Copies of this chain bind each other. A is one copy, B any other.
Amino acid sequence: MSRVADPEELVTALAAIVGDRWTRSPSELEQHGRGETHLAPAPPDVVVYPVSTDEVSAVVRACAQRSVPVVPYGAGSSLEGHVSAVYGGVSLDMSRMDRVLRTNVADLDVTVEAGVTRKQLVRALGSTGATFFVDPGADATIGGMLATGASGTTSVRYGTMRENTLGLTVVLADGSVIRTGGRARKSSAGYDLTRLFIGSEGTLGVITEATLRLHPVPDAIAAAACSFPSVDAAVDAVVALLQSGVPLARIELLDDVTIASLNAYLGYPEVPMVFLELHAFSRDALGEQMGAVHEVVAEHGGRVHASATTEDERARLWDARHRVYYAGIARRPGARSWTTDVCVPVSALAQCIRETRADVAATGIEAPLVGHVGDGNFHLLLLIDPADPAERERAQGISVRLTERALAAGGTCTGEHGIGLGKMSSLAKEHGDSLPVMRAIKDALDPRHILNPGKIM
């Protein structure tokens, strides 16, 4: 894989496909090579904005003929350098493929183009009675969420992108187009290519369309914010709630630093909190479940600080949760967040969080903690000055020790953010025995390594 030999010739070829929907503006190149990562950006040579699978196919074919890298770009919310054009080439900005192509409420499925964002999809489903539940916080594109195998606040109940995708349209490295899966709820027809492309981070093909599973909007919903005397008590309560059989739809941990950074939005006391949501078949069933929640929370020295039953109240609570990332970064002007993402068996969660917080405290780095704790997944926002090598080194140390801790507990270095550039050495530690298999698949599907080169392995 080499840099683009003749950018002018490449742009001429691309313009023949996409007309004037391309740019070499330095600010656009810079933005497309960055994302939300703590890593240094690497701009592409050109950004193109395709509007159809056919255009993506033609662009990839043009790049294949020239051995030019193709780096898919969604909303730029990647945290691990996925959009970084480390070998230059073409950034394939999917944001103009933003049509909801087909909705079927009776079958609870929808087909969308890859550039549709999560919030756009939920809005489009409006009052149909069906909704899409995967919610990573960021208003990522569906294509980006598929590429990283995203999950989020509702995955404890409704699963990740893997469980909520029925089929894909994918442009392969030679520009050919395939359709994986279909509209059946399940299938055993050949290799599970749908799941192979999900989480492949643009290295095996470019996802242009997806058929997704929807879920009925529950008849009765309530959310609650629960405060606890300590992070330990909060985590213990979460584990007890999971084991109680209460069917939790969301359960999120926010430590005192995170709550403090949200004070402009919420005004809660600055103590560790758990935000949760229940979905039930009726108001009676909901009341019964909320009663069980109150009991478990009280047993762990906490209290249900606020119960949100109206849609507005719930929206305010989850909106605050989704502001954690930017509110956290705003605590330190000029800082970027080195965001961690381990996921461990729930029984190991309390100890993993306890040891990690002690480790962070010893380094003096401020690090709001937030987590999809129902899945055993939590994030630290390590707030560092990206230009300070000493701070980077301390963050690196925390991250390495955290990954070791997670792997020792049977967990993973990344629950949902993916490998990208940032976690390649962690992947080698976690799945070193499988890397030859991953490499063999990469070589088989993209022999010239033009698809998002330099990532994962």
Residues of A within 8 A of B (CB): 104, 106-107, 109, 148-151, 155, 159-160, 162-163, 172, 176-180, 182-193, 195-196, 198-200, 204, 216, 218-219, 239, 243, 245-247, 280-282, 284-285, 288-289, 292, 341, 343-347, 375-377, 406, 409-419, 423, 426-427, 430-431, 433-435, 437-438, 440-441, 443-445, 456-457
Which one of B149, B179, B190, B280 contacts A188 once the chains associate, using CB atoms below 8 Å?
B149
A412 to B187, CA, bound (A): 6
The quantity of this chain's copies bound in the complex is 2
- Neighbouring B residues of A438 by C-beta, 8 Å: 190-191, 193
* Most B-side CB within 10 Å, residue of A198, A281, A376: A281
Taking the closest CB of chain B, its distance from the CB of A367, in whole angstroms, is 21
Can you spell out 13 A-B residue pairs with CB atoms less than 8 angstroms apart?
A104-B347, A106-B347, A149-B186, A159-B163, A160-B186, A182-B411, A185-B345, A186-B415, A188-B414, A188-B419, A189-B423, A190-B456, A193-B434
Q: Is the CB of B281 within 8 A of A246?
A: yes
Chain B residues with CB under 8 A of A456:
190-191
The 7 A-B residue pairs with the shortest CB-CB distance, nearest first, are A195-B195, A183-B410, A187-B412, A444-B444, A184-B343, A440-B444, A149-B188
Say whether A149 contacts B281, CB under 8 Å: no
Residues of chain B lying within 8 A (CB to CB) of residue A427: 189-190
Q: What residues of B have a CB within 8 angstroms of the CB of A182 in the complex?
A: 410-412, 430
CA distance A162 to B347 in the complex (A): 23
- In whole Å, how far is A431's beta carbon from the nearest beta carbon of chain B? 6
User: With the chains together, A239 CA to B177 CA distance in Å?
Assistant: 34
Bound complex: CA of A443 vs CA of B443, how far in Å?
A: 11
Contact among B159, B431, B445 with A190 in the assembled complex (CB-CB below 8 Å): B431
In the assembled complex, the Cα of A430 lies from the Cα of B179 at a distance in Å of 10
Q: Smallest CB–CB gap between A295 and chain B, Å?
A: 13
CB distance from A219 to the nearest CB of B (A): 6
Whether B410 and A184, one on each chain, are in contact in the complex, defined by CB atoms closer than 8 angstroms, is yes
A377 CB contact (under 8 Å) in B186, B377, B441: B186
Q: Check B184–A345 contact: CB distance below 8 A.
A: yes
Known: A188-B412, A216-B243. 14 other contacts (CB 8 A): A106-B243, A148-B188, A149-B187, A149-B188, A178-B437, A179-B434, A184-B376, A187-B412, A187-B415, A188-B341, A191-B438, A281-B288, A281-B289, A281-B292
Q: How far is the CA of A150 from the CA of B186 in the complex (A)?
A: 10
Residue among B179, B190, B195, B418 making CB contact with A162, cutoff 8 Å? B195
Q: Which residues of B contact A440 (CB under 8 A)?
A: 444-445
Q: Are A192 and B188 in contact (CB under 8 A)?
A: no
Residue of B245, B419, B431 near A180 (CB, 8 A) is B431
- Residues of B near A415 (CB, < 8 A) are 184, 186-188
A185 to B180: give the CA distance in the assembly, Å: 25
The answer to whether A198 and B192 touch (CB under 8 A), given A107-B347, A288-B284, A437-B445, is yes
